[in-house]
Amino acid sequence: MSHRRHDPGHHPTQSTTGDGSVTDLSQARHGDPGARTPGMLHGRGRSYDILAAVFFGGRRRRFFTRLVAESGAHPGDRVLDVGCGTGYLTRMMAETVAPGGTARGVDPSGEAITQARRLAHRANCTFSDGIAEALDAPDDTYDVVVSSLMIHHLPEAQRPRAIGEMFRVLRPRGSLLIAEFRPPASRIGRRLVSALTGHNAMAENRVDLLDPMIREAGFEHIHSGDLRPWTHYVQARKPPAAV
């Protein structure tokens, strides 16, 4: 995946996206108007899809089919894919929830959203600009929220906020699925990941922190597992509404 070097302790106010435009990150444009967004934006267009195909080694369809199954989505559901990139998972979710359901992907990269829209051929599959820390949706909007290989893009301090936003936009009893890169166990493997991506965010990704963050956000019935290649996922549910 294409990434930019960033210091988790540094909070930039601007970032250049893949299409060359400069985006002001000091004020969120969606959801909570007071939300801050210190994470970096990453341009991800056609090159992202090429690199993803290499990363999954011919197992991309099989991998995402498993994620769709773990998400618990059914026909008629409303799905949000947070950090959708070029929309591969979003499109598969749209197939799963048809007829009657919808899938919407959001991503801060204009290049990625443009490519996602080019590839979308279903009326129930849409894409829009958006950031995980301040989702542009009312409370209790979606039946299912998914996010694949996105959380590591955020500084650790902002990850609980993003998961809290996913909790907010899910309806009571709604389902959450987060899949994240699980670094190799060996030091050599981690060094190779750092060399390939140009930073340490993936090589040092603390997937063990996902479960407690999701629990702290208010989710319940949490279970997790590992998938090849190098992926850890967590599935959970939002509790029913208080009577």
Domains defined for the chain, CATH in brackets: 14-237 (3.40.50.150)
User: Can you tell me the distance from the alpha carbon of 145 to that of 219, in angstroms, rounded to the nearest whole number?
Assistant: 12
Query: Which residue(s) pair with 179 in the sheet?
Result: 148, 233
Distances in Å between the alpha carbon of 206 and those of 8, 86, 110, 111, 118?
13, 25, 28, 28, 34
What is the residue-level pLDDT of the chain in tens, covering all 243 positions? 333 333 333 333 233 232 222 233 333 334 443 443 444 444 445 555 555 565 556 676 788 899 999 999 999 999 999 999 999 999 999 999 999 999 999 999 999 999 999 999 999 999 999 999 999 999 999 999 999 988 888 888 899 999 999 999 999 999 999 998 755 554 554 455 444 554 555 545 566 778 889 999 999 999 888 767 678 899 999 999 876
pLDDT of residue 57: 62
Per residue in 202-219, pLDDT (tens digit) is: 545 566 778 889 999 999
φ/ψ of 44, rounded to 5, equals -140, 95
pLDDT of residue 20: 28
> Would you give the end-to-end CA distance of the chain in angstroms?
45
* Amino acid of residue 150: M
